[in-house]
Amino acid sequence: MQFDAALAAQDTFRRAETELGSDWDTAVELEATFSSNAGSTAREAYEGLLALSVRYPQAYSFQAFCIFITWQQVTEETIAHHFQTGLRLCEAFLASPDGKHPVDVEQITELYGSYRDGLGLDEEDETLVEFRKDTPKGGD
């Protein structure tokens, strides 16, 4: 990967404050627990963050944050479940890039490939193919 998922998570988390409204304090508490612990305590906080993300499907920065911390879970505990979770979150995020931070879209597209690679999926699926087709390319 061409970026640090932990740093990307910090950036997207800061941007998520306005998206979560009254649940921001809960998110801060869960993130602090996740970041400062390991094992089952961190996993419980991670699951709490994912549960919170379900309540805010239009909170794009928070959705990106959850994708990035899922990669941290992959590195902590390399199991298929985390790869599958990351893949599912990426697919939902990339289904429509409208209204999302362009850097997040770029990084999550790259991370999507890493989740697929981790599961041994070597062919691009239809979602990513369509996304790449619709994404404007850099020019002169």
Please name the amino acid found at residue 111.
L
Evaluate whether 115 touches 86 at the Cβ level (below 8 Å).
yes
Question: With 60 as the cut, is the pLDDT of residue 140 above it?
Answer: no
Percentage of residues of the chain with pLDDT beyond 90: 75
Q: What is the pLDDT of residue 136?
A: 63
The predicted-structure confidence for 34-59, as pLDDT tens digits, reads as follows 999 988 999 999 999 999 999 999 99
Q: What is the pLDDT of residue 126?
A: 65
pTM of the model: 0.84
Q: What is the mean pLDDT of the chain?
A: 90
Evaluate whether 45 touches 2 at the Cβ level (below 8 Å).
no
Residues 6+ apart with CB under 8 A from 78: 118
DSSP, collapsed to helix, strand or coil, labels residue 6 as: helix
Q: What is the pLDDT of residue 26?
A: 98
Integer angstrom CA distances of residue 131 from 20, 43, 63, 108, 128 = 27, 31, 18, 12, 5
- What torsion, rounded to 10 degrees, do the Cα atoms 13, 81, 53, 9 define? 10
Q: Which two tokens stand for residue 59?
A: 């909170």
Q: What is the pLDDT of residue 59?
A: 96
Q: How far apart are the first and last CA of the chain?
A: 25
The predicted-structure confidence for 90-130, as pLDDT tens digits, reads as follows 999 999 878 899 999 999 999 999 999 998 886 555 666 67
Higher-pLDDT residue of 76 and 66 is: 66
Percentage of residues of the chain with pLDDT beyond 70: 86
